[in-house]
Amino acid sequence: MTRTGTHSWWLGWLLATVLVLFAACGNDNAVPSPWQEPPVLQLDLRITVDPLEVGLLQPVRVTLDRYRKRGVEVSFVPKVPDKLFVTKDTLTSEERPFGDGFWQRTTMTLLPIAGPGDLKIPAFRAETAVPEGEQPQIATTPEQLVNVTTNLLAEHGADIEAPGDPFPTPFAGWWWIFGSVVVLLVFAAVFLWLSRRKPGIKAHATAVPAHVKALRELQIWRTAPRTSEAEIDAFYVGVSQVLRVYLEDRFGLHAPERTTEEFLRDLEGSTDLVREHTEELKGFLTQCDMVKFAKLVPGVAEHHTTFELAEAFIESTRADRTPDAAVAEVSS
């Protein structure tokens, strides 16, 4: 090989190496940020789940994006209980500069091991590391539902059967089974006869009314701290969730998993008792959405107004104070 050829070969090799390194750097920076602009909070946490409908043992990708201000230390250990999912792997990227802070992405691959039906991915939590005695800032994600389906019947229909012997041996113990069943029936009849002769005190499970459960949970949020933006956000999310669950328990409205727009559309087909409070619910849910998504920071007076609105709605629609309940009491 000539000297000129050697120089050309080395020049080509260096150029290829530079292109590979440039492509690697470009790919790393090409990962889009989930925020259009840096958050105003010191700590923020977002979640994306894909897909939301899978088969049993099919992978579910959970993407967690965490943002922190520069100089803020954060404690964040994402875990999922192993009763419903198996965590196949967890990958965490390097922190990337973003505005006056950094963001980091954690990707978890989960395999559903229960179903079919809706499986709940619990909320994730991150908090700032502060000296003892100070209140940390907390960021949480909403719970996610993954619908686990099975294609077993769709693929095989009614032709599925357990394999058996080509020439099964006739079973000769039918008389023993028949005799055992007769003995068990005799014992059951004697037991029922004796239980009727000695009446005892029977415990009856009493279902907690929807308004009682909702008012108890509201009392927890009444004394919740609301000094930082993260605490205010948690307060409005918590009070909104209490009211949404109450609407589902009391009136059968699927409020917890619907957006405010979808829920308000559903009110058109609900009972008159709920429709007469449409404007109150619209104002209440819109206020909560502004705090959660638009980062609105209301004052102390708005906190009390929001809480009292939720409490007043529950009190005015509770089952034991509606006209239907009053008619039932009079007829009894």
Q: Which residue has the higher pLDDT, 279 or 64?
A: 64
Q: Which residue has the higher pLDDT, 11 or 175?
A: 175
Distance CA 290, CA 181 (A): 66
Tens of pLDDT, residue by residue over 214-258, are 888 888 887 788 788 888 888 888 888 887 888 788 777 776 666
What torsion, rounded to 10 degrees, do the Cα atoms 206, 256, 106, 21 define? 170
- 240 contacts 288 by C-beta, under 8 angstroms: yes
For the chain, domain boundaries: 43-152, 210-319
Where residue 125 falls among pLDDT bands split at 50, 70, 90? very high
Task: Specify the range with the lowest mean pLDDT, choosing from 20-34, 277-291, 310-324.
Answer: 20-34
Task: Specify the range with the lowest mean pLDDT, choosing from 21-35, 107-121, 186-200, 285-299.
Answer: 21-35
pLDDT computed for residue 231 by the predictor: 83
Task: Specify the range with the lowest mean pLDDT, choosing from 54-58, 116-120, 272-276.
Answer: 272-276
Tens of pLDDT, residue by residue over 33-50, are 889 899 988 899 999 999
Directed axis angle between helix 229-251 and helix 278-293, to 10°? 150
Q: Which residue has the higher pLDDT, 243 or 275?
A: 243
Architecture of domain 43-152: Sandwich (2.60)
Distance CA 122, CA 119 (A): 10
pLDDT computed for residue 96 by the predictor: 92
Closest CA to 69 of 102, 106, 94: 102
pLDDT computed for residue 31 by the predictor: 76
| CB-CB neighbours of 310 under 10 Å | 23
